[in-house]
Amino acid sequence: MIEYLLEPFAYEYMVKAIWVSALVGGVCAFLSCYMILKGWSLMGDALAHSIVPGVAFAYLLALPYAIGAFFAGILAAGGMAFVKQKTKLREDAVIGLVFTTFFAIGLVLVSINPMAVNIQAIILGNILAISDQDVQQVIIISLVVLSVLLLKWKDFLAVFFDEGHARSIGLPTSFLKIVFFTLLSAATVAALQTVGACLVIAMVVTPGATAYLLTDRFGVMVWIAITIGTLSSALGAYLSYFLNTNPGGFIVLIETALFLSAFLFAPKYGLISQKRAVNKHREAL
């Protein structure tokens, strides 16, 4: 039995898939805490799709895919910010507009210029067959994003909570926001490899949403989210070996399962404890 459970660790590609997923899951989870508080959840999805033409371009020019993806991401985020500032369109319309345009450019590029890049791999992720070069890119991205966040998480919180105040204490608010979206684009690129464009949104939303139900302190929320993101990504990749499935789907399902348990059983904001608190009050009357 134990032998059977340890089987995946005998394969180098499985071990790699497990720890790379865990790393990416943790980084995305950190970002997710900000995303859900600002109502930017769809932004992650939009960025992931916008990245496709960047990847195509990078292959055309024989550059590392991460560079192309990254610039496309920044361009998309900047485009969204620009359109939103200059028009009175709502955020969802702006996001929809920009990301579908980018995604369409990507599709056109790929179809007029068939290339080695497998669009399916971008959309569904391909962590089990990730190349060593790609692993390197993912590690560098993750570590950079993680260290910036660890150093500056309080500044980001101050800016997102009350921008006016953040400015009044001399924080460079516009700069910090640009940095944040740069980090988000970078993390999305990394996540693309693991779970694919369609499921990136889950990685930058679900852990934060779960952690939000469990605490009233942002610092604690971040640690809970990172733990959830890391463990469920590792576990998802590990389990996918036995069921012979796409790890991305598994990772997201595990995260969803954790969210549901928090939703029901969280000590303060869970459905059950809230019911109980109200009932207790009724009985007391």
Partner 1 sequence: MSQAFIHLENVGVVYPNGHHALEGVTADLSPGTICGLVGVNGAGKSTLFKSIMGFITPTSGKVEITGLPVKQALKKNMVSYVPQTEEVDWNFPVLVEDVVMMGRYGYMNFLRRPSQADKKAVDEALQRVGMQDYRKRQIGELSGGQKKRVFVARALAQGGKIILLDEPFTGVDIKTEDSLIALFRILAEEGRLMLVSTHNLGSVPGFCDTVMMVNKTLLAYGPVETTFTQDNLAAAFGGMLRHHQLMGDELHDDPDARGVTVLTDDERPLVLYGEQGGQKIVRTKETAGEGIGRHD
Residues that bind partner 1 (CB under 8 A): 37, 151, 154-155, 157-158, 160-162, 164-165, 167-171, 212, 215-218, 221
CB of 27 to partner 1, least distance (A): 19
Of the candidates 212, 258, 224, 251, which has an alpha carbon nearest to the alpha carbon of residue 235?
251
Query: In the complex with partner 1, which residue's Cβ is closer, 132 or 216?
Result: 216
Query: In the complex with partner 1, which residue's Cβ is closer, 111 or 267?
Result: 267
CB of 205 to partner 1, least distance (A): 16
Say how far apart CA 177 and CA 40 lie, in whole Å: 13
CB of 96 to partner 1, least distance (A): 23
Query: In the complex with partner 1, which residue's Cβ is closer, 221 or 228?
Result: 221
Q: Largest Cα–Cα distance in the chain?
A: 73
Say how far apart CA 130 and CA 134 lie, in whole Å: 6
CB of 158 to partner 1, least distance (A): 5
Burial class (CB in 10 A: 0-12, 13-18, 19+), 95: buried
Is residue 240 a contact partner of residue 253, using CB atoms and an 8 Å limit? no
Angle ∠(206,158,79) on CA atoms, nearest 5: 65
Query: In the complex with partner 1, which residue's Cβ is closer, 91 or 155?
Result: 155
